[in-house]
């Protein structure tokens, strides 16, 4: 067996607990990842000692502590430059529904009782820090060897019915570790997916984000993301957390362009997008307007416009910050633009300036992910390559992508046209930006002044000052 790596700080901490009459264990991901030769990012520790006693013992030894959750008996510990989260052994009882929080928590439990209240066997592994022994009450080592996610209880309904968030965690761990889900656990997840309705949107968002970025956690490969999303689909979790996405299930698309139905295509597109959260979200939601368009007209026209509003509603419901929502909805809105690659270079330059450099490159990435997510084409995407060429040319020519890239200010424009401050100044600057995107050499003060005066001479408002 691979030895568990223990820092000096953790060993010293275990000796302090030993002096208080308790055996200190590392538990969960720290043990699991050591056994899998994966990096350890968080260190959870536990013992039979109640949180109040542990806190007193640690303070006696000059160690900083902070109660993180008295209800759950957890304590943040800072020691020798390292951080640990301590928990007392406990048993839990849940009420009706799938709420993440148990109704009753009982301390003074045994290690075995503590293990069987945890979610999955691979997370219920304990390491006696001073004794050097792995304790495995639920069969987690065998599941690690089989690369399998399995509920700790022989009746997985007990685990997944009590806490709906565990269904998302199941998919996330399977994706991050490259594991499969044991059959009874998967069937239980499908039976109990309705419990996700009781989970706070923020917690759903956090787990969804981790699934969407699961290929950068431990193991590379975009199949990690696809596996996680397909698990959510197969256990009907998507029906609860993203019903707008699940509405695309079974809606077939033109065979010459798509090998998958609408829902499956969106999952593949998300996995094909670069590993940045807003791009993965945009891939996941880019065609979310298709089910509505198809239901209303039998066609999928304007699904990009329809999907923009739906995406905003979804992201708002899941409490995404505004900057993520704005980026994603912009990509959904414009992902169909110039699909056939027929737009003139000057037209594209103006569009790129309106969108900005980052959003323009993001749209290229979504175009490629969209095509690769079709299951038909995996090579070069012609329209995307054409956009890349023009964007590179603009960069080489130092073309502006933002009004602040112009070599003039609003005050300059007011002086050149003898105008007072007004919204017109911003309108003129926007016109200058579009002009210089196509004619980068005009982005100098002399030519900007001339162009500004030309704009002013043509303006319909020039006589109403």
What pLDDT score was predicted for residue 457? Answer: 85
Q: What is the pLDDT of residues 1-12, one digit of tens each?
A: 567 889 999 999
What pLDDT score was predicted for residue 124? Answer: 98
Q: What is the DSSP letter of 199?
A: S
Average pLDDT over residues 223-248: 97
Output the average pLDDT for the chain.
Answer: 94
Checking if the pLDDT of 462 tops 60, the result is: no
Q: What is the pLDDT of residues 311-369, one digit of tens each?
A: 999 999 999 999 999 999 999 999 999 999 999 999 999 999 999 999 999 999 999 99
- Binned at pLDDT 50, 70 and 90, residue 465 comes out as very low
Average pLDDT over residues 269-284: 98
Checking if the pLDDT of 96 tops 90, the result is: no
Placement of tokens 């495995």 in the chain: 136
Q: What are phi and psi of 105, to 5 degrees?
A: -120, 130
Provide DSSP, 389-414.
HHHHHHHHTT--SSGGGSS--HHHHH
Residues 136 and 125: their CA atoms lie apart, in Å, by: 5
Average pLDDT over residues 128-145: 97
Residues with Cβ within 8 Å of 439's Cβ and at least 6 positions away in sequence, in order, are: none
Residues 196 and 190: their CA atoms lie apart, in Å, by: 11
What pLDDT score was predicted for residue 67? Answer: 87
Checking if the pLDDT of 164 tops 60, the result is: yes
Distances (CA, A) of 146 to 160, 173, 248: 21, 14, 34
Checking if the pLDDT of 99 tops 80, the result is: no
Query: HSE on the CB side for 256, CA within 13 Å?
Result: 0
What pLDDT score was predicted for residue 109? Answer: 86
Q: What are phi and psi of 127, to 5 degrees?
A: -125, 120
Q: What percentage of the chain carries pLDDT values higher than 90?
A: 88
Average pLDDT over residues 274-294: 98
Alpha-helical segments (H) within 117-198: 140-145, 156-162, 165-177, 183-192
Kindly report the CA angle at 153 between 149 and 158, in degrees rounded to 5?
105
Check: pTM over 0.95? Answer yes or no.
no
Across 60-69, 178-187, 258-267, 327-336, least confident range? 60-69
Average pLDDT over residues 368-394: 95
Residues with Cβ within 8 Å of 353's Cβ and at least 6 positions away in sequence, in order, are: 399, 400, 401, 402, 433, 434, 436, 437
Placement of tokens 């197969």 in the chain: 234
């Amino acid at each position: 067996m691979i030895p568990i790596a223990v820092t000096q700080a953790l060993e010293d901490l275990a000796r302090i607990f030993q002096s208080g009459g308790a055996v200190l264990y590392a538990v969960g991901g720290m043990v699991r990842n050591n056994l899998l030769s994966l990096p350890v990012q968080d260190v959870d520790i536990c013992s039979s000692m109640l949180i109040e006693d542990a806190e007193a013992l640690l303070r006696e030894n000059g160690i900083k502590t902070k109660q993180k959750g008295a209800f759950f008996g957890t304590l943040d510990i800072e020691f020798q430059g390292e951080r640990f989260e301590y928990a007392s052994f406990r048993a839990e009882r849940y009420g009706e529904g799938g709420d993440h929080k148990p109704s009753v928590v009982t301390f003074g439990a045994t290690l075995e009782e503590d293990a069987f209240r945890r979610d999955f066997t691979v997370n219920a592994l304990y390491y006696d820090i001073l004794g050097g022994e792995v304790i495995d009450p639920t069969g987690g080592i065998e599941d690690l060897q089989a690369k399998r996610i399995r509920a700790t209880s022989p009746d997985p309904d007990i685990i997944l019915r009590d806490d709906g968030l565990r269904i998302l965690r199941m998919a996330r761990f399977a994706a991050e570790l490259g594991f499969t889900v044991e059959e009874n656990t998967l069937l239980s997840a499908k039976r109990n997916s309705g419990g996700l309705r009781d989970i706070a949107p923020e917690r759903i968002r956090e787990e969804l984000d981790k699934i969407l970025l699961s290929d950068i956690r431990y193991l590379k490969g975009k199949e990690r993301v696809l596996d996680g999303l397909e698990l959510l689909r197969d256990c009907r979790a998507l029906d609860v957390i993203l019903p707008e996405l699940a509405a695309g299930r079974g809606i077939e698309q033109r065979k010459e362009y798509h090998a998958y139905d609408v829902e499956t295509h969106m999952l593949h597109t998300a996995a094909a997008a670069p590993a940045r959260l807003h791009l993965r979200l945009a891939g996941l939601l880019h065609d979310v307007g298709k089910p509505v368009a198809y239901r209303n007209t039998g066609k999928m026209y304007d699904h990009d416009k329809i999907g923009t509003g739906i995406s905003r509603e979804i992201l708002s419901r899941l409490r995404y910050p505004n900057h993520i929502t704005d980026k994603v909805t912009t990509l959904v809105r414009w992902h169909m633009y110039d699909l056939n690659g027929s737009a003139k270079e000057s037209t594209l330059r103006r569009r790129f300036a309106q969108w900005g450099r980052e959003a323009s490159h993001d749209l290229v990435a979504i175009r490629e992910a969209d095509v690769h997510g079709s299951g038909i084409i995996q090579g070069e995407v012609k329209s995307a390559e054409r956009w890349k060429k023009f964007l590179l040319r603009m960069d080489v020519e130092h073309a502006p992508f933002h009004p602040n890239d112009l070599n003039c200010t609003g005050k300059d424009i007011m002086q050149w046209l003898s105008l007072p401050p007004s919204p017109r100044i911003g309108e003129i600057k926007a016109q200058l930006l579009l002009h210089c995107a196509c004619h980068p050499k005009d982005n100098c003060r002399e030519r900007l002044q001339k162009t500004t005066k030309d704009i002013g001479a043509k303006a319909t408002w020039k006589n109403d000052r």
